[in-house]
């Protein structure tokens, strides 16, 4: 009996040891970040996001979480100011040598976390690799007019263009991450390299990814190398943890309970006021750089008529949409694609389409339509939108109701996102409703949105006058002349209703009042979680 | 029929079911609107770049060729490479599958452990207050919606009382035995919410089966022989009443996995359900095919075990 007890106890002890061995073990103390200067903080900043990181290769990355996490490791040449203009980051100077040659002068004090210096060779190699391998993502999309890049000195890169383009140097500088040539080149095509950290990650940002718990968390430790873009060269938080909460309600509960310090994604409009009045939570306002819009498909014969598009534009109550659906958290752009936030370009003389059902009726009659006994015109337009976009789903109903007041029937087609994308791609809609997160460069935006062959020319417009204005602006180096051309183009878009820009949404990010020092950047992609912002954030109690 | 033959036949049927699930999944995914290149397209992606992506994904091949290639790889144990993550599908899934299995099997065990006695209690107190209370609980449970239950539990026990964490499967910086405690504390609320919504069918099925069994002749005979009501209920009637409940376990497992998708989303639990949701939004065919294959294998295996258990519980099954 005693022997049996002993063997039972031994089995239990062995089981316990086995269980303990299966559990994660505490890391050794000589891990990343241990060499940080003593004045650096020891705090962990925990940030909530709603999506997992899909790809650790920033040249492919396609989700916001990809962008947020990889931005902490792979620097951009340029950053962005509140008005959409570009600011220095890794690059200190940039511009054009001649019409078809651009350049970047980069800092000489960036170092990869494995000790290799970040030089112009990394920049040139990144640009050439993206051009050659064509990875999916925004970066490659900016490379249309790029032929090649060359490091002409350790701190200068020159970019040869296939044709004059006065936007491309800033656009590449803002959108593209620079990756370490010595890590990415041996891996083959950058379009297929997962960069999943099999041998660890190499970073030139303030932090380096050290632990991934798929579906749960992504942990980044402060790098040992100085980060030149933060005061003193040492990021304040020792560690940054991104935690995934797919449901935004759970995410907010986690913020309220103190499990997370920051919510990276923009708050739903309905939650902003509630969180503002919650003790221990601060709400930062971030300027939006995108817009919500409705687009009228000109391949549809009725919508090819300018008067019909104008009638539709005057049949929506934009003020009510902004006040009711957006709860006052959006601003009018004057129905112009040159939003007020782009202060260099915005044109005050363009005013918002007035909600005037009678004017709409009159325009429909001018277009040759006659209302029936119920006051309805003999047309029905299908309005396509994504059901995953809760804000658009709400205002689509208001648009339908207000159009009915003008005698125009609208049939709502809210679809699952991939079906919505497929239908958009096929041009199978009358009215398209959606939004863009960042429209930072007007020339690029107009080229994609209003020129034939543009990837997001959902109007299917081909107006020679507009094409000419945008083409001229694309090669005009003089800033004032460029602005004048773009304002003229915007006036044409406004007059002809080639696009109906409804608002720019301000964005609100929640963070714990225990933290301060964030640097606010426009758009949800940067907001208060840019590399510079996170590296500058500090605990209030630690001051 | 011998037990070996019985098991072999069940195995053969299981393999056929898995092949059918694999084929249907393969075809259904390709019937979805849009294509994977479009799902990851940026606003400035050109037609040429999209076409190149489809070639990279192998979607430029005719459907039968894609199917044969896929089956060939599958037979060699290769589930393919994720379109969006560029890593082997098996790696993606194996990180997540254990959490889903832990959650679903904990919920299943809890449901059975609570549901069977509750059903037995109701049956033994047929027509009395306990019976009515249990029936109300059962019917109400069937009407609950996982995300609603989840948010209420999180608000109450996570935020207001602070007893349990809000999300995830374990805490950072916790190691050794403490890690298991952390896993357990993170498991409580999601498992509880899944249990609450699944409990109804078990309670009601158990109650109905036991009420039937308690009316059978052998129970009358047992009573006449002077056996105690407790012994009749737990020793004799319950074994017969367990058969429909055992069937229910197999049938409900699929629903349980379905419920786990929502539960994992609300509780930020890193299981395969959430992986499926993310792969659907990105039309990541290889991950979806792999996930459905793993789930099909899990459900088929559980059903086979149920069948085999059924054979033990009721010897007539083996000979039928």
Q: Which residues of B touch A171 (CB under 8 A)?
A: none
**Spatial CB neighbours of A484, under 8 Å, sequence gap ≥ 6:** none
- Chosen from A17, A19, A23 to mutate, greatest number of chain B CBs within 10 A: A23
Contact call for B34 and A455, based on CB within 8 A: no
Q: What is the DSSP string of A38-74?
A: TTS---EEEEEESS----S-TTT--SHHHHHHHHTTS
Min Cα–Cα distance to chain B from A448, Å: 7
Min Cα–Cα distance to chain A from B167, Å: 7
Q: Which residues of A touch B165 (CB under 8 A)?
A: 259
> Quick one: average pLDDT of A414-443?
91
Contact map slice: A 50-89 vs B, CB within 8 A: 51-52, 54-55, 57, 60, 62
pLDDT of residue B247 exceeding 80: no
Q: Which residues of B touch A256 (CB under 8 A)?
A: 159
pLDDT band of residue A12 (cuts 50, 70, 90) is: low
Q: Which residues of A touch B45 (CB under 8 A)?
A: 136, 140-141, 455
pLDDT of residue A355 exceeding 60: yes
Q: Tokens for A158?
A: 């020159």
Cα separation of A338 and A291, whole Å?
10
Min Cα–Cα distance to chain B from A398, Å: 27
Backbone torsions φ then ψ of A160, nearest 5 degrees: -90, 130
Average confidence score pLDDT of chain B: 85
**Minimum mean pLDDT among A3-12, A74-83, B248-257: which range?**
A3-12
> What is the predicted pLDDT for the residue at A539?
92
Q: Which residues of B touch A217 (CB under 8 A)?
A: 168, 172
pLDDT of residue A523 exceeding 60: yes
Strands laid side by side in the A101-106 sheet: A91-98, A101-106, A156-161, A146-153
pLDDT of residue B87 exceeding 90: no
pLDDT band of residue A47 (cuts 50, 70, 90) is: very high
Q: Which residues of B touch A54 (CB under 8 A)?
A: 84-85, 278, 282
> What is the predicted pLDDT for the residue at A351?
95
Cα separation of B199 and B222, whole Å?
31
- Chosen from A25, A42, A136 to mutate, greatest number of chain B CBs within 10 A: A136
- Answer for the pair A314, A354: CB distance below 8 angstroms, yes or no: yes
Pairing of strands A156-161, A146-153: antiparallel
Q: pLDDT tens for residues B124-159?
A: 888 888 888 888 888 888 788 888 899 999 999 999
> What is the predicted pLDDT for the residue at A33?
41
Nearest CA in chain B to A388: B281
Helix H or strand E segment including A442: helix A442-450
Contact call for B39 and A219, based on CB within 8 A: no
Q: pLDDT tens for residues B183-238?
A: 999 999 999 998 988 888 888 888 888 888 888 888 888 888 888 888 888 888 88
- Answer for the pair A316, A400: CB distance below 8 angstroms, yes or no: no
Comparing B317 with A523, the larger pLDDT belongs to A523
Min Cα–Cα distance to chain B from A263, Å: 14
Q: Say if the ipTM goes beyond 0.85.
A: no
Closest CB from B99, B175, B180 relative to A19:
B180
pLDDT of residue A8 exceeding 60: no
Contact call for A141 and B46, based on CB within 8 A: yes
Cα separation of A505 and A290, whole Å?
7
The answer, for A245 touching chain B at a CB cutoff of 8 Å, is: yes
Quickly list H helices, chain B: 3-31, 36-39, 47-57, 63-75, 89-124, 129-143, 146-153, 177-214, 217-224, 229-231, 238-266, 272-281, 285-313, 316-319
Contact call for B176 and A136, based on CB within 8 A: no
Cα separation of B294 and B95, whole Å?
13
Average confidence score pLDDT of chain A: 90
> Quick one: average pLDDT of A331-344?
93
pLDDT band of residue B1 (cuts 50, 70, 90) is: low
Cα separation of A225 and A118, whole Å?
12
Q: Tokens for B235?
A: 């020793």
Closest CB from B34, B166, B274 relative to A254:
B166
Helix H or strand E segment including A357: helix A357-366
Backbone torsions φ then ψ of A226, nearest 5 degrees: -65, 145
> Quick one: average pLDDT of A165-176?
93
Contact call for A247 and B166, based on CB within 8 A: no
Helix H or strand E segment including A412: strand A409-415
Min Cα–Cα distance to chain B from A111, Å: 27
- Answer for the pair B161, B185: CB distance below 8 angstroms, yes or no: no
Radius of gyration for the alpha carbons in chain A, expressed in angstroms and rounded: 26
Contact call for A194 and B271, based on CB within 8 A: no
Contact call for A216 and B270, based on CB within 8 A: yes
């Amino acid at each position: 009996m005693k022997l049996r007890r002993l063997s039972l106890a031994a089995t239990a002890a062995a089981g316990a040891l086995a269980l303990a061995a299966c559990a994660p073990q505490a890391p050794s103390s000589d891990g990343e970040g241990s060499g940080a200067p003593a004045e650096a903080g020891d705090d962990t900043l925990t940030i909530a996001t709603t999506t997992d990181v899909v790809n650790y290769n920033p040249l492919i990355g396609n989700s916001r979480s990809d962008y947020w996490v990889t931005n902490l490791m792979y620097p951009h040449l340029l950053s962005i100011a509140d008005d959409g203009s570009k600011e220095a980051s890794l690059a200190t100077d940039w511009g054009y040598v001649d019409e078809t040659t651009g350049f970047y002068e980069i800092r000489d004090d960036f170092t990869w976390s494995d000790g290799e210096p970040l030089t112009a060779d990394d920049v040139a190699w990144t640009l050439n690799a993206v051009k050659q391998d064509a990875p999916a993502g925004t970066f490659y999309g900016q490379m249309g007019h790029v032929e090649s890049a060359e490091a002409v000195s350790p701190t200068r890169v020159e970019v040869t263009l296939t044709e004059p383009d006065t936007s491309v140097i800033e656009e590449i500088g803002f959108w593209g991450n620079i990756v370490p040539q010595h890590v990415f080149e041996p891996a083959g095509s950058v379009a297929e390299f997962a960069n999943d950290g099999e041998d660890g990650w190499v970073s030139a940002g303030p932090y380096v990814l050290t632990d991934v718990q798929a579906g749960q968390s992504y942990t980044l430790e402060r790098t040992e190398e100085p980060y030149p873009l933060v005061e003193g060269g040492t990021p304040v938080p020792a560690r940054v943890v991104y935690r995934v909460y797919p449901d935004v309600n759970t995410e907010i509960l986690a913020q309220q309970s103190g499990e997370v310090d920051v919510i990276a994604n923009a708050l739903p409009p309905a939650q902003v006021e509630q969180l503002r009045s919650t003790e221990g939570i601060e709400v930062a306002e971030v300027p939006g750089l995108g817009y919500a819009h409705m687009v009228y498909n000109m391949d549809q014969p009725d919508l090819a008529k300018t008067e019909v598009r104008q009638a539709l534009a005057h049949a929506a109550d934009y003020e009510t949409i902004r006040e009711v659906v957006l709860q006052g958290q959006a601003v009018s752009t004057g129905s112009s694609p040159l939003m007020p936030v782009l202060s260099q370009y915005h044109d005050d003389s363009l005013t918002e389409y007035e909600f005037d059902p009678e004017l709409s009726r009159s325009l429909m009659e001018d277009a040759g339509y006659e209302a029936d006994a119920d006051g309805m015109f003999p047309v029905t337009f299908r309005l396509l939108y994504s059901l995953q976009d809760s804000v658009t789903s709400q205002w689509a109903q208001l648009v339908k109701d207000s159009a009915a007041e003008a005698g125009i029937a609208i049939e709502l087609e809210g679809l699952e996102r991939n079906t919505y994308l497929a239908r958009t791609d096929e041009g199978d809609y009358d009215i398209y409703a959606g939004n863009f997160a960042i429209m930072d460069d007007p020339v690029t935006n107009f080229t994609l949105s209003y020129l034939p062959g543009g990837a997001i020319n959902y109007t299917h417009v081909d107006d020679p006058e507009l094409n000419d204005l945008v083409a001229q602006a694309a090669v005009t180096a003089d800033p004032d002349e460029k602005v004048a051309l773009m304002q003229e183009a915007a006036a044409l878009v406004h007059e002809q209703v080639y696009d109906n820009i409804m608002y720019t949404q301000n964005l609100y990010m929640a963070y714990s009042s225990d933290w301060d020092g964030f640097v606010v950047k426009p758009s949800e992609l940067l907001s208060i979680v840019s590399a510079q912002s996170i590296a500058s954030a500090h605990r209030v109690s630690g001051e | 029929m011998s037990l070996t033959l019985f098991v072999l036949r069940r195995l053969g049927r299981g393999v056929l079911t898995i092949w059918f699930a694999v084929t249907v999944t393969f075809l259904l995914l390709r019937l979805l609107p849009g294509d994977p290149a479009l799902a990851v397209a940026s606003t400035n992606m050109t037609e040429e770049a999209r076409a190149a992506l489809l070639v990279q994904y192998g979607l430029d091949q005719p459907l039968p060729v894609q199917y044969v290639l896929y089956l060939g790889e599958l037979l060699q144990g290769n589930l393919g490479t994720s379109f969006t993550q560029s890593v082997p599908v098996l790696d993606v899934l194996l990180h997540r599958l254990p959490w889903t299995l832990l959650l679903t099997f904990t919920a299943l065990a809890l449901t059975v452990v609570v549901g069977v006695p509750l059903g037995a209690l109701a049956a033994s107190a047929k027509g009395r207050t306990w019976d009515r209370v249990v029936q109300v609980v059962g019917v109400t449970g069937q009407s609950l919606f996982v995300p609603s239950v989840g948010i209420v539990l999180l608000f109450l026990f996570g935020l207001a009382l602070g007893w349990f964490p809000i999300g995830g499967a374990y805490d950072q910086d916790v190691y050794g035995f403490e890690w298991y405690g952390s896993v357990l504390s993170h498991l409580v609320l999601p498992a509880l919410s899944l249990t609450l919504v699944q409990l109804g069918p078990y309670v009601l099925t158990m109650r109905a089966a036991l009420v039937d069994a308690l009316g059978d002749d052998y129970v009358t005979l047992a009573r006449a022989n002077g056996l105690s009501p407790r012994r009749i209920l737990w020793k004799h009637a319950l074994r017969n009443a367990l058969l429909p409940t055992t069937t229910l376990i197999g049938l409900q497992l699929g629903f349980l996995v379905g419920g786990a998708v929502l539960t994992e989303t609300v509780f930020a639990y890193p299981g395969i359900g959430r992986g499926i949701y993310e792969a659907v939004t990105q039309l990541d065919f290889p991950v979806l095919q792999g996930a459905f294959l793993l789930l099909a294998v899990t459900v088929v295996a559980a059903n086979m075990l149920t069948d085999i258990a059924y054979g033990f519980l009721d010897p007539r099954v083996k000979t039928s």
